[in-house]
Amino acid sequence: MAGTPPSPTARLEAEPAPLAFEAGTTALVIIDMQRDFLEPGGFGESLGNDVSRLAAAIAPAAAMLAAARRAGLLVVHTREGHRPDLSDAPPAKIARGAPAARIGDPGRMGRILIRGEPGHDIVPALRPRPGEPVVDKPGKGAFYATDLAGILSARRIETLLVCGVTTEVCVHTTVREANDRGYRCVVIADACASYIPAFHEAGLAMIKAQGGIFGWVAQSAAAVSALGGGAA
Ligand code: C5J
């Protein structure tokens, strides 16, 4: 666009190789850091998971959020959840596994995985600011049945810094979708988490294997530094 100064190029220490990116064409995408996944009484716990395992990702994700805001990156938050009438929830998803409480059932944070309920909210440490897009998604991938592609293309985004939960489910599905759409994806390892630690490690290993077949993996400290560093 005429009159827009060129974005300075930043260098990010990542695996399998360092990566150059420009703040103006880079977005931070924070996947599903919702109470339903991170707090007791929500969807994650209903599936038999120890939700305390996800807490470690909050502080690194908050550091990423602060750094991205300072650097002027587009910040996109996603939330997994369904309409109150469950019209966008496939019966096969509702019935999956042997949960103690199913999607749409009443729980300690309102109806489980339903938009508008307390459990659907993003945790307070990562609350979106006005103007930051919040993408509500019915599936695991953030591109499926959402307007994320339009949000990114309107800003000419080329590179995604991705964090959130869970590493091997919604983070991985979104990165795979994004990779196929031509985005360069950097998964911020310590700002992601899984209920199953071995799956977190395997998920990260799969991203960066084979020369970065799905993208890159970096630590939040390196990414914050590449974004200009400094305190929140
Ligand atoms: C899951 C997610 N694990 N956000 N959702 O069901 O990863």
Ligand 1 pocket check for 45: Cβ under 6 Å: no
- The pLDDT assigned to 229 comes to 81
- The pLDDT assigned to 110 comes to 97
32 Cα to the center of ligand 1, angstroms = 7
DSSP lists the bridge partners of residue 129 as none
Q: Are 162 and 187 in contact (CB under 8 A)?
A: yes
Interatomic CA distance for residues 193 and 182, integer angstroms: 25
Interatomic CA distance for residues 128 and 115, integer angstroms: 16
Which residues have C-beta within 8 Å of that of residue 125, sequence separation ≥ 6?
Answer: 58, 59, 61, 62
Phi, psi of 129 (to 5 degrees): -90, 155
User: pLDDT tens digits, residue range 209-226?
Assistant: 999 999 999 999 999 999
20 Cα to the center of ligand 1, angstroms = 30
Which has more confidence, 204 or 96? Answer: 204
- The pLDDT assigned to 148 comes to 98
Structure tokens at 63: 């550091």
User: pLDDT tens digits, residue range 13-24?
Assistant: 999 999 999 999
Ligand 1 atom having least distance to the Cα of 43: 6
Interatomic CA distance for residues 184 and 181, integer angstroms: 9
Predicted TM-score of the model (pTM): 0.95
Percentage of residues in the chain having pLDDT higher than 70: 94
**Residue for token pair 């369904």:** 82
Ligand 1 pocket check for 80: Cβ under 6 Å: yes
Interatomic CA distance for residues 122 and 38, integer angstroms: 9
Mean pLDDT of the 148-176 span: 98
Q: Are 112 and 40 in contact (CB under 8 A)?
A: no
| 3-state SS class at 175 | helix
Q: Is the pLDDT reported for residue 231 higher than 50?
A: no
Task: Give the mean pLDDT of the chain.
Answer: 95
Q: Is the pLDDT reported for residue 6 higher than 90?
A: no
> Which residue's alpha carbon is at the smallest distance from atom 5 of ligand 1?
170
- Residue 3's pLDDT band (cuts 50, 70, 90): very low
Mean pLDDT of the 178-187 span: 98
Interatomic CA distance for residues 214 and 178, integer angstroms: 9
Residue type present at position 197: P
User: pLDDT tens digits, residue range 58-68?
Assistant: 999 999 999 99
Q: Which of 30, 37, 77, 93 is the pocket-test mutation for ligand 1 (most atoms within 8 Å of CB)?
A: 37
Q: Are 167 and 194 in contact (CB under 8 A)?
A: yes
Percentage of residues in the chain having pLDDT higher than 90: 92
Q: Are 123 and 59 in contact (CB under 8 A)?
A: no
Ligand 1 pocket check for 165: Cβ under 6 Å: yes
Known catalytic residues are 32, 137, 170
Q: Are 207 and 184 in contact (CB under 8 A)?
A: no
